[in-house]
A and B are shown apart, each in its own frame.
Chain A
Amino acid sequence: MLKIDRRIIFLVIGLCTLLPLLYPVGLPIKISSEVRGVYDHIESLPEQSVFLLSIDFDPASKPELYPQAIALLRHAFRKNLRVITMTLWVSGTGMADQIVTQVAKEMSKEYGTDYAFLGWSPGGQAVIINMGQDLYSAFPSDYGGRPTKELAVLNGVRNLKDVGYMVDLGAGKPGVEEWYVFGKDKYKFELGGGCTGVMAPGLYPLLRSGQINGLIGGLRGAAEYEILIDQKGQAVAGMDAQSATHIAIIVLVIICNVFYLSLRRAARAQGQAG
């Protein structure tokens, strides 16, 4: 067993992923307090509040963060918030535009009045600082080249201090940490985060200390958010497969350890006999 061809393990994991996707079971999904933190804050915002969403990921992290972005935008549009979106990742610009346009169209929202996509601006953390001082200096024009000062959705918004709530969906740097360090800590606005599963353990200390008020972690977090807004999508559909693969991995780890220990015991017994 310890010398098993790794392709058999790939096949087992592949089947454990594929079968639940083809034949979903619908396992229950419990809502965690960290995901509820983001949801509750958006729920508490009055209509026409400014909601800033920074889509800081590229297609490589799409399976985890795309469902989060879709769910957050649906929630914000449903609450009639003024939605401002942007990205600090140049490689994610086209995808971010596609996400925002798709959800806005679905929710019948008008560009410039209900939402805007500012696009990408170079500088990473410098852009955050610049936005804290003057949003129009960081983004003189939006993704389509229209002057941002002419966008009705930005009326009364001068800098980050005028933002009602900001959520960063980050897959690395710049991401949630940078938005806290150079944004919230300096300009004092409410911040929530969404991230890939790999990054989530590193962001829990920020959550516990109240530096961010909520955290959507990976596909699981996206599924929880989809349940909260009562609009099941890609993330909920993937949770059965996630559970099945986790069980398969746990079983494989246990089996390998049993074989390893029995082999070690046999080798010891042989050594004593010799």
Chain B
Amino acid sequence: MDATIFGAWVATGLTLLIFSFLYKDNPLFKLAEHLYVGVSVGYTIVKAYDTVLVHLVVKPIVEQGEISLLIPVGIGMLMLTRYVPKAAWMSRYAFAFIVGMGAGLAIPRTISSFILKQVEDTIRPLLSIGGSDGVTFSMNLLNPASNLNAIIILLGVSSVLFYFFFSIEHTGAGKVVARTGIMFLMISFGAAFGYTVMARMSLLIGRLTDLIEYSDASYGRPTIWLLMGIVGALFLLSRKRQEHPPDSH
């Protein structure tokens, strides 16, 4: 059998087995779920072994004599001492190295990228100087740099920050500002959820596109045959469960 056709049958079968969960939880779904986890982990282990151990460690040391690589290898090996209780303390040096280096790399870059740059972009002039005409105000909501958008950002940032400022009771004028903050947050959550729905639908579209393609005669119509097979199997499982209900004790 051609590898493409075999792949089509496997992909179709696994997709339909996973979709069978939409009817109800069943052993066929669990089989596909466990296969997915197993294959993913297996693939990752093989790739990591080949790329890291073979190509980045063993070959450079043995073939090119890069002895300095033994230092990171040694630090990495210290992590394995976690499995030997008496020597587990040695793994702390490896963790200390990773945490220290990671924090040192991440903290200044994150502050620069996500705090300073974002603050800089948030603080924008509410009015623009427009050549010889003096001060101008642009109303174009579609232009991110427009003055109207700058006012909306000012209102949003101030009210949301106030909403999370708990040292003052949110009453009177403070209540209005806090509720404005909630409105901005809700709009933001709504936009995020809308995008999430779009993403999930895209995944469904992707799988259905493949199922339609694999219903073609050139692949041996795996979609149709496997769909019939899985529906039949679900029916038999359902009958079996009715005849022998699972023990509740």
Residue B198 CB within 8 A of the other chain: yes
* Chain A contacts for B114, CB-based, 8 A: 181
Judge whether A218 and B109 touch: CB under 8 Å. no
B residues 98-130 near A (Cβ < 8 Å) are 105-106, 109-110, 112-114, 117-118, 120-121
Q: Closest residue to B47 on the A side, CB-wise?
A: A90
Given A205-B118, A208-B121, A64 and B191 touching (CB < 8 A)?
no
Judge whether B202 and A185 touch: CB under 8 Å. no
Give min CB distance, A192 to chain B, whole Å. Answer: 16
Q: In the complex the two chains form, what is the Cα distance from A237 to B209 in whole Å?
A: 9
Q: In the complex the two chains form, what is the Cα distance from A192 to B22 in whole Å?
A: 37
Judge whether B117 and A211 touch: CB under 8 Å. yes
Give min CB distance, A128 to chain B, whole Å. Answer: 10
Interface 1/0 per residue, B38-75 and A, CB below 8 Å: 00100110011001100110001000000000000000
Grouping DSSP codes into helix (H, G, I), strand (E, B) and loop, the B interface class, with mixed when no group exceeds half, is helix
Judge whether A219 and B105 touch: CB under 8 Å. no
A residues 12-30 near B (Cβ < 8 Å) are 13-14, 17-18, 21-22
Judge whether A201 and B188 touch: CB under 8 Å. yes
Q: Tell me the count of chain A residues lying within 8 A, CB to CB, of chain B.
A: 56
Judge whether B23 and A119 touch: CB under 8 Å. no
Q: In the complex the two chains form, what is the Cα distance from A182 to B199 in whole Å?
A: 27
Judge whether A238 and B202 touch: CB under 8 Å. yes
Given A13-B204, A122-B52, A209 and B117 touching (CB < 8 A)?
yes
Residue B208 CB within 8 A of the other chain: yes
Q: Tell me the count of chain B residues lying within 8 A, CB to CB, of chain A.
A: 43
Judge whether A62 and B206 touch: CB under 8 Å. yes
Interface 1/0 per residue, A142-185 and B, CB below 8 Å: 00010000000000000000000000000000000100111001
Q: Closest residue to B43 on the A side, CB-wise?
A: A91
Residue B31 CB within 8 A of the other chain: no
Judge whether A201 and B192 touch: CB under 8 Å. yes
Q: In the complex the two chains form, what is the Cα distance from A237 to B109 in whole Å?
A: 40
Other than the given A14-B208, A90-B51, 4 more pairs (CB < 8 A) read A120-B47, A125-B105, A205-B118, A241-B201
- B interface residues, Cβ below 8 angstroms from A: 22-23, 40, 43-44, 47-48, 51-52, 55-56, 60, 105-106, 109-110, 112-114, 117-118, 120-121, 142, 144, 188, 191-192, 195-199, 201-209, 212
- A interface residues, Cβ below 8 angstroms from B: 7, 10, 13-14, 17-18, 21-22, 33, 62-64, 66, 90-91, 93-94, 119-122, 125-126, 129, 140-141, 145, 177, 180-182, 185-186, 196-198, 200-202, 205, 208-211, 217-220, 234, 237-238, 241-242, 245-246, 249
